[in-house]
Amino acid sequence: MGKTQTSTARYWARMPLVTRLPALVWFTLALASAPSLGFAWGHEGHEVIALIAEHSMTPAALQKARAILGGASLKDVASWADDYRRDHRETGPWHYIDIPLADSEIDRARECPNGQCVIAQTEHFLSVLKDPSADPPKKAEALKFVIHFVGDLHQPLHDEDNSDKGGNERHVVFGGKTDNLHWVWDTGLLEHIDRNPEELAAELEATITPARPG
């Protein structure tokens, strides 16, 4: 495939209007339009993202999403894809795309070979959600992946690489201890903030306005 612009934001800018919307609104519309549907990103971070998404959804879209998930909330399944990865290591590359930091474009043939990256897999699972012939277990699995991958897509260290495996090989001192930059961004910062997911989601939602959607 040809090259596209490098950052996730620029990538979405090349997509149809619905995918150019802020991540949470885009996710909501993706759910609502499916034919069968009528900051830091560790475990807690994904819960926060899911809570904000739930609060942004219409009651009908939320009801349909929970029906697909067998009654579970988005928050309940927000980290399912990470848990699944432990026993299905082949899904590891689905959570990120290593775009060289110095590059001004994405080369999907190089950075997403055979669709093994977060962009391609998000597109794939959205297509499953929109497929009227997909059976309920497949739709539930697809929705759980989409919920998680929308969060991963907007964690910069899941999208770009500076010859350090997305910050995993970049050592920093945080809280007086040495750790890798990826862990600090994913989990350490949220532990330092020390809010429960509901409180943090409410604080972040208060900053979302039409002029600053996310």
Q: Where are the domains of the chain?
A: 3-205
At CA 205, angle to CA 204 and CA 208, rounded to 5?
A: 100
pLDDT band at 72 (very low <50, low <70, confident <90, very high): very high
Catalytic positions, please? 41, 46, 82, 85, 95, 148, 152, 158, 182, 186
Tally the C-alpha atoms within 13 A of residue 56's C-alpha that lie toward its C-beta.
29
Over 60: is that where the pLDDT of 4 sits? no
Beta-bridged to residue 99, according to DSSP, are 160
What is the pTM (predicted TM-score) of this model? 0.77
Residue 183: CB partners within 8 Å, gap ≥ 6?
168
Average pLDDT of the residues of the chain: 81
Mean pLDDT value across residues 165-175: 90
- What digits encode the pLDDT tens for the residues 130-168? 999 999 999 999 999 999 999 998 888 899 888 998 888
Mean pLDDT value across residues 78-106: 93
Beta-bridged to residue 174, according to DSSP, are 177
Task: State which of 27-41, 119-133, 178-192 shows the largest mean pLDDT.
Answer: 119-133
Is the CB of residue 197 less than 8 Å from the CB of residue 48? yes
pLDDT band at 24 (very low <50, low <70, confident <90, very high): very low
CATH 1.10.575.10 for domain 3-205, yes or no, is yes
DSSP class per residue in 79-127: THHHHHHHH-GGGGGGG---EETT-SEEEHHHHSGGG-SHHHHHHHHHH
pLDDT band at 54 (very low <50, low <70, confident <90, very high): very high
Task: State which of 9-23, 141-155, 195-209 shows the largest mean pLDDT.
Answer: 141-155
